[in-house]
Structure 1
Amino acid sequence: MNLSMAMVLFSCIILITASTQHFSRKTLQAPWTSCNRYNGFTSILTCERFCRFVFDSLYLFSHGVIEGTCYCCDKKPGDSDEYFPDDVRESYIPGFCPFNYTGYTYNEHMICLRYEESMKKYHQAADVCQHEGGDLIRLDSLTKHNIMRSFVEEERTLAEVEVWVQGIRDANLTWRYHDSTQLNYTCLRGVTGEPTDNYMRARSAGSYNCNDHNENYRSFFLCEIYIRDSWF
């Protein structure tokens, strides 16, 4: 299908699809050079609908606010790809797990997980996950905890591992997630009591139960993207 024909058909069906909801999550991920670029788009909404209409698979769609460009990324970035420099743009991950992530059904939604065996401090690890549109995994239920155990066991290459998970102890000694809500489920089984040990990690040696440590400790980490059934 050439671009002009696609634009005509797209214009005809845009009113029909206006009420359709999709899973999408905002991300700081920039489009890459093999993404398909189109001009003349006034909003992220029209860009998203066009990309979904033209391409059967989609890893990312992005709208350049100033230039009116729309990037439809239908393939994973290859070794020769380069990422476009930072610009005034809006980028979204469509309703399936992005490259390098593995999807799991969780309640009525989906979680996408990525295990990273590189040593990072807690906030460095959280920054990596947030840049990809997610965060450190939030162990807020026994179900999620069991999913994490199973996933890391399949992915790890070392005999024993430790991974940062989402959890910070505040000045009142209350453990909280990154959105400041108090933990409603805890994997904590061992707390040192040290005043600087305010960050949570899970250890394979303890059946992935959690311990605290300080912000300068370096560990592997686990990113999670939580996809809800809602429009952005």
Structure 2
Amino acid sequence: MRGQFYFFVISVIFSASVQCSLAGSALQQRLVKSSLLPTSSCIEVANQTQSSVLCTATCLKSHEDIVVSSRHVVSTKCVCCRSLLTGTQFSDTEWITYRHDETLIVYSYCPIGYIIINHSPVITCLRLELMTKNYSGAALGCHADGGNLVRIDSAEKYTIFLQFIASHVPPSVAEIWIQSFRDPNDLNMIWSFHDHTVMPEHCPLETSDMPIETRLRFMIAEGICNDNTPTHFYNSVCEREATTISYL
């Protein structure tokens, strides 16, 4: 009887092993190993996983839109990523990463000091300048590191701007220069960007239309864009394009 019991246990273990092996093999056929490192936008789903196959299976079970899975070979931590990777890329290279076959992976990142914010289909990099400056100084400060004063040129960009303020601007900051100017001699009072493109009114606009008030600042508490003279000192937000790399 004891021998039959042992045979039964061994048979069950062998059967389970074969099923796991077959499932892993079928899953691996849908995956391609990648040199891509995960980023801070990925989701940690497990502190410990036995293999990359189990990591991938966990990702697919937990999140249908996950297309990348990565397992740390030392800690055995498992993270799952969507096709758009944003945030800081992990500096630790001890990751084994797999992606879905024929899936285009897009990795976007910002220069040091900038925060990546995305509101599909717009992705941009923003940086808060804590030192208050007049308008000219704020614009030159952004140019110094390759950026520009933030340009609110679409509804998506306005949403991104508000997200950035909510998450990355301290309560002590009340007003922020945004990219804008108008000709004091223009009777139509048209607001433009630095490249003379007409500025659409995605930001709620309240102005006094006084000839000397030729620049706009965003007033956080009021939630409006309001005009003032360019000699006033405010904080500012700089903008740079995100760098995007695609992986097949």
What's the secondary structure of 2:179's corresponding residue?
strand
Partner of 1:153: 166
Q: Which letter maps to 1:120? A: K
- Post-superposition shift, 1:106? 5.0
Contact persistence 1:109–1:228 (CA under 8 A): no
Residue 178 (str. 1) matches residue 191 (str. 2): no
Please say which of residues 166-175 and 130-139 is displaced more in the overlay.
Answer: 166-175
Superposed counterparts of 1:39-50, under 5 Å: none
Per the alignment, residue 221 of structure 1 pairs with 236
Please tell me the root mean square deviation across aligned C-alpha atoms, in Å.
2.1
Is 1:200 the counterpart of 2:216? The answer is yes
**Larger CA Rg, structure 1 vs 2:** 2
Q: Which residue of 2 aligns with 1:23?
A: none
TM-score, normalised to structure 2's length?
0.50
**C-alpha distance after superposition, 1:57-90 (max 9, x if no partner):** xxxxxxxxxxxxxxxxxxxxxxxxxxxxxxxxxx
Q: Is the 8 A contact 1:101 1:113 kept in 2?
A: yes
What displacement does 1:139 show?
A: 0.4
Q: Which structure is richer in relative contact order (CA contacts within 8 A, separation 6 or more)?
A: 1
Aligned residues: 135
Shift of residue 229, structure 1, vs aligned partner: 6.6
Q: Structure 1 residue 189: deviation in Å?
A: 2.5
Match of 1:8 in 2: none
Q: Give 1:145 deviation, angstroms.
A: 1.0
CA distance in 2, matches of 1:227, 1:97: 5
Gap change, CA 1:227 and 1:192, over 3 Å in 2: same
Contact 2:158-2:202 within 8 A present in 1 as well? no
The verdict on how the C-alpha distance between 1:107 and 1:158 changes in structure 2, with shifts beyond 3 A counting, is closer
- CA displacement, residues 26-82 of structure 1 (integer Å, 9 cap, x when unaligned): xxxxxxxxxxxxxxxxxxxxxxxxxxxxxxxxxxxxxxxxxxxxxxxxxxxxxxxxx
Residues 108 and 145 from structure 1, CA distance in 2 versus in 1: closer, same or farther, beyond 3 angstroms? closer
Unaligned 5+ residue runs, structure 2?
1-107
Please report how far the alpha carbon of residue 135 of structure 1 lies from its aligned counterpart in structure 2 after TM superposition: 0.3
Q: TM-score, normalised by structure 1?
A: 0.53
The answer to whether structure 1 residue 212 and structure 2 residue 236 are counterparts is no
Structure 2 residue 132 is the aligned partner of structure 1 residue 123: no
Report how far residue 185 of structure 1 moved.
3.4
Residue 163 of structure 1: how far off its partner (Å): 0.3
Distance 1:105 1:185 in 2: 20
